[in-house]
Amino acid sequence: MIAVLTNMGLLSAIRHTGLSLWLEALDRCVRKKLATVNADPEVAQALLNRFDRAMADLTAVVEYLEE
């Protein structure tokens, strides 16, 4: 997977762009995909809850690293 990202130039872009911007893009992309998940409402909500927790953890790490 890293090779694919390297070939796409994303690893280079990540190194030269603030991590918080990448988190924002990831958040937007995943939420868009979660909105179209064909699952029971309980499953969809559980996925959203897990994603929210993961994003909160990643945000805390990125905020620490960007200080």
What are the structural domain ranges in the chain? 18-65
The pLDDT of residue 13 is 77
Rounded distance, CA 67 to CA 62, Å?
9
Q: Where do we find the tokens 């959203």?
A: 48
pLDDT at 59 over 90: yes
Tell me the residue type at 56: A
Of 8 and 21, the one with more pLDDT: 21
Q: What is the pTM of this model?
A: 0.78
The pLDDT of residue 67 is 81
Going through 1-67 in order, the beta strands assigned E by DSSP cover none
Rounded distance, CA 53 to CA 7, Å?
31
The pLDDT of residue 19 is 86
Tens digits of per-residue pLDDT, 10-54? Answer: 777 777 788 888 899 999 999 999 999 999 999 999 999 999 999
